Amino acid sequence: MSFQKNPYKYIIITILVFTLAASPLLSTAKAEDNTYMVDNPEILRTEMLQPGVNHQVYKDLKGHWAEKYMVELSNMEILNGFVDKTMKPDKVITRSEFITMLVRVMNLKEDSKRYINYADIPTNHWAYSYINRGKAYGLLDYFSDKDFYPNKIITREEMAIILSKALPESFIVDKPVYFNDIKEGYINKKSIDKVSSAGIINGMPDGSFSSKGTSSRAEAAAMFYRFINIKSDIDKSHIINFAKEYETNIIKAANEKNQSLKGVIENSIGKERLLNGERKNVILELKSSNLNRNMGEVRVHIIQNSLYKAVAEVSYELAVERGVLRKSLYNIRKILFMTYRNGHLSVYESSCDYSIVRSEGTGEKVNLTWDYIYRKTPDMTDAQKIEGLNVISPTWFVLLDESINIMDKGDIKYTNWAHEQGYEVWPLFGNEFNKEMTAKVLADPVKRKNLVDKIIDLCLKYNVDGINMDFENMRTEDSDEYTLLIKELSVKAKTKGLTVSVDVTPINKYSSWSMCYNRKELSKYADYIIMMGYDQHWEGSPISGSVAQLSWVEDSLEKILEEVPRDKLILAVPFYTRLWKETYVNGKTVVTSSAISMEAGERAIRDNNAIKVWDEESGQYYAEYKKDGSLYRIWLEDENSIKLKVQLANKYDIAGVASWRKGFEKPAVWNVISLVLSAAL
């Protein structure tokens, strides 16, 4: 980033599958790798905690007339598929399978005191509990023999008798359906009239009811679908309260990083249970993130209120803050599909739509500092919080060779500490100033992709908020390839919610260190371009001078603003200065320098009894003194010079400032930067 950045001194680092006990015909199949996704899945996943889930897709249902019915019953844990991932919709259904589905729909409880066991259903029979629950609740009174014959194919008449018992006592047959084979006085006509009037069982194409006929699994699923959706006049207030609480608990768990998802997990079944398993994974991924969500008023509109199903639209505004610099406001619209389980409502499926009201910065200017890491990231436990600082960039990563080996000095404990302080973390990724190695990587699409993937992986590994790309000393002919690298990195970074910043030098058409950047194109893809506003006079400069003269910095800003949008530009200022030594040797002046901190500069002046003089042009204090036959000169960086440079950020309304580097500043500098950026100074 500055005097430290050379090959010798600068060293940096780089679903759940639910199962139900059932017969072979109702056994649960394993979920396939089919993911339910919607637009912008990463936003839904991380910000709204509505990730995609793997769910069962039955290979013999696609395009089948009963696909809709059977899939919904599967999501509700009423009807399960087979282990070969089929639903076998055209297979006839047995008595035990039919009563099992009905008991699940009605959510009937165990009541062993009311059991009157059938002789042919032992306690280890897969449907023992379901059949006896049905009998206990009076659904099987028609089957009064000692044997139930559970594997017998159930007739349409038997279905009608059972379902008529399941309908509410208050149900009125207002429009009896005529069947040409059901005459007045037919023994079970009342039951048939009841279910046909309710629209649960329809007649045959020839106008008959076909009492002794059988039904397929698909036909039975259609019957249960209609049964579930019979309109109800049950009070809606409990549905509204449940939907509000369920959605609020999701956002609360996300903010609290609470994987237990209290109030959510226990109130979900079927497909939604799978989704909640994935929500737990997302919460774990975001455990150390500084992402926060704030809900507006939650509104609930009841779309459907049926006998065993409720559908509600839940809508609200959600403000999502990622760290201190980014904020998005969304309009959220969710649909909750609910049924009853264990005496209370449970969500079995949900969907989410959203629109972005606005997505912007928080209005706070970036205040970034680079933290130079030597050999190992230090323990920051006792480090003081720096007021006003909102981004910290540890020099963690460096590309070592064209095989994409990376020096990595990252430490998740550092990220956790930074987030606790309210800082975002954008670690620096450098190229070791190796132009030939960099050229080979940039020119190879496979190597570029490998590099991008490794950068993203490192960001996720250390749970950081962004990446700071610091490739320098590149060949000018590689400018387009570097832009392409940043484009490819930015595309992938955006899907992970990561900020990409790119360091560039001031524009100097005579320097390859400058002309290797296409700043205009880079700014199309990067979130921020950081202009390193220093090294006006560098380590090998043939003449003494300021590291960052104020007029030079402002002129550099004006030039770069012709290529980079102001809301993407960050000005980097120096916390270091140079102590210049001019020695007359063999008839000429030899100039050398050393980079020193602000305090070291003040000490050199004080120890040598030099006098500081304010220099208007440089916006700095200047001092000189003679020692051991040489002339020493210094243009100080301190709170006064930094104030003037930071004021340029306000004058030109750019995105903020950065500073190279933490540890070289005087403590008073932080207060100055904070006050200037907040326009209080």
* Domains defined for the chain, CATH in brackets: 24-32+56-228 (no CATH), 237-361 (3.10.450.50), 366-575+637-677 (3.20.20.80)
Determine the 3-state secondary structure of 274 from DSSP.
helix
pLDDT tens profile 43-73: 888 888 999 887 778 999 999 999 999 999 9
pLDDT confidence tier of residue 30, bands split at 50, 70 and 90: very low
pLDDT at position 435 is: 97
pLDDT at position 6 is: 38
pLDDT confidence tier of residue 680, bands split at 50, 70 and 90: low
Cis peptide before 519 (omega within 30 of 0): no
pLDDT exceeding 90 applies to what percent of the chain? 79
Q: Cα–Cα distance between 681 and 672 in angstroms, integer?
A: 8
pLDDT at position 681 is: 59
Closest CA to 620 of 572, 543, 552: 552
Residues of the chain by 3-state class (helix, strand, coil), percent to 5:
35, 25, 45
pLDDT tens profile 117-157: 788 999 899 999 999 899 988 999 898 778 999 999 999 99
More confident residue, 9 or 560: 560
Mean pLDDT, all residues of the chain: 90
The one-letter amino acid code at 553 reads V
pLDDT at position 325 is: 84
The total number of residues written for the chain in this structure: 681
pLDDT tens profile 329-346: 999 999 999 999 888 999
Closest CA to 415 of 319, 530, 286, 529: 286
Q: What is the mean pLDDT of residues 363-378?
A: 95
C-alpha distances (whole Å) from 419 to each of 17, 84, 323, 335, 464 are 35, 48, 8, 34, 9
Lowest-pLDDT range of 34-43, 232-241, 273-282, 350-359:
34-43
pLDDT at position 57 is: 83
pLDDT confidence tier of residue 13, bands split at 50, 70 and 90: very low
pLDDT tens profile 463-511: 899 999 999 999 999 999 999 999 999 999 887 878 999 999 999 999 9
| Pure H helices in 589-657 | 598-607, 639-651
Lowest-pLDDT range of 221-225, 235-239, 607-611:
235-239
Closest CA to 385 of 671, 28, 33, 624: 671
